[in-house]
Amino acid sequence: MIFTVLAAGWWFASTLAAPATFNSPSLARRSDDELGSLVLAVKAQDDINDPDDLTVASTVINTGKTTLKLLNDPNGPLSTWKTHTFEFYEVPTSGSRKRATGSTAGVHSVRVKYNPDVAASLSNPNAYTILKPGENKIVVHDLSGMYNFQTTGSYEVRVTANAEWFRVIKDDGSVGYVQAKIYDGPEAANWTASHISESGTFASMRGLASAGIPSHPFARRWEADNGLTKRVLYNNCSATQQKDILESAVAANGYIAQSSQFLANSYYLGNSRYRTWFGPYEKRRWDTVARHFTLLHGQPQRFKYDCSCAEEDTFAYVYPDQFGTVYLCGAFWKASVLGKDSRAGTIIHEATHFTRLGGTDDHAYGHEEAQKLAINFPNQAIMNADSHEYFAENDPEIL
């Protein structure tokens, strides 16, 4: 099926040259329209019967007049990371596929620590995609083992709201945004439609496998010991890496202890440091953040760290429901132990993703995005991993 979807992708890429209407929700980010314009189309499988054969093809087309250098964001359509990039919406029997509003299929995805500014500074061509005017990029996404379809029938696949936004590397090296227009032409309803003939979890024998990402069978070797350990454990890590990890884990514990002490002192209610990363004071939100840091206490030195990921533009990732194992990637080793986007901060970021330690998501990446999230969406900020990391790092210092 993966080859069928890919072939279909090549066909509908040329079809998109025809005039069409577009529909896309408005988000808080500002699209730099002067940078260019993009169209995004999605092609789903017609029928989903095999758990090891669940694929979606996305096509990104440069419809503007300038060449665009797009970051391969792990949470976007240009990346093959098995993140939460797509939603499957149940189509009511009396409803239309085009406007499906039913419940979504449950999703199990990896959580990735990624910084757009760091990725933009790399010369590695794997970190970005270059599209000249009129060119397109097709990516086939292997989604096997990720989705739980509760009912049989028709579903519509869409990209998540964040996945509509593409980060563009500007000529000066800074990062801007272009919001893609979602193709909504006459063929779109058929392209995005899938039929589920049997309900249940489509659990793949291969697991969450993807480029540069270990599969579940690899991780299962440690599942029997998924509780708290008494010391740091390593896999595929050199002696030097083990030393660096231990130093970073100790530093992360220090950050956590300081953050917990800060949050336990009512004197700081509404303090600018808290407001910067989590928004205006509200007791429920404050208590949520405080609880997260309480749960994190002492955890970094009890985790298992895997050093097999070589992705240069990625710091680390975890499987939220596979507690205790943190996969460290290329950007982690280039970071400092302490400070902004540090190794210690990365460990805190990933730790908050674990379901039992907070279950945070990646709503925003980087200082600028995280601060805007706190202002506009504080309820999301308290569940954003980078917000916790930057609060703990406190670099530059906010008193």
Give me the catalytic one of 350, 369, 389, 393: 350
List phi, psi (to 5°) of 254: -65, -45
Residue 34: CA count within 13 A, CB half-sphere:
2
What SS3 state is found at 47?
A: strand
Task: Find the largest Cα–Cα distance for the chain.
Answer: 62
Residue type at position 31: S
Of 211, 176, 222, give the one whose Cα is nearest residue 74. Answer: 211
CA distance 299 to 82: 26
The CA-based dihedral angle spanning residues 127, 82, 186, 4, taken in that order and rounded to the nearest 10 degrees = 100
CA–CA separation, 298 vs 276, rounded Å? 26
Question: Which ranges of the chain would DSSP assign to H, the alpha helix?
Answer: 2-15, 116-120, 188-191, 216-219, 239-264, 272-278, 283-296, 330-334, 343-353, 366-376, 378-381, 385-393
Torsion of CA 163, 123, 119, 146, to 10 degrees: 50
DSSP of 177-236: EEEPEEB-STTHHHHTEEEESS-EE---SS-S-BTTB--HHHHGGGGGG-S--SS-EEES
Q: Which of 83, 75, 112, 106 is nearest to 353 (CA)?
A: 112
Determine the Cα–Cα distance for residues 382 and 277; give it in Å rounded to an integer. Answer: 8
The answer to whether 350 is a known catalytic residue is: yes
- Nearest alpha-carbon partner for 249 in 312, 189, 319, 328: 328
Alpha-carbon distance of 325 to 330, in angstroms, equals 17
Active-site positions read: 350
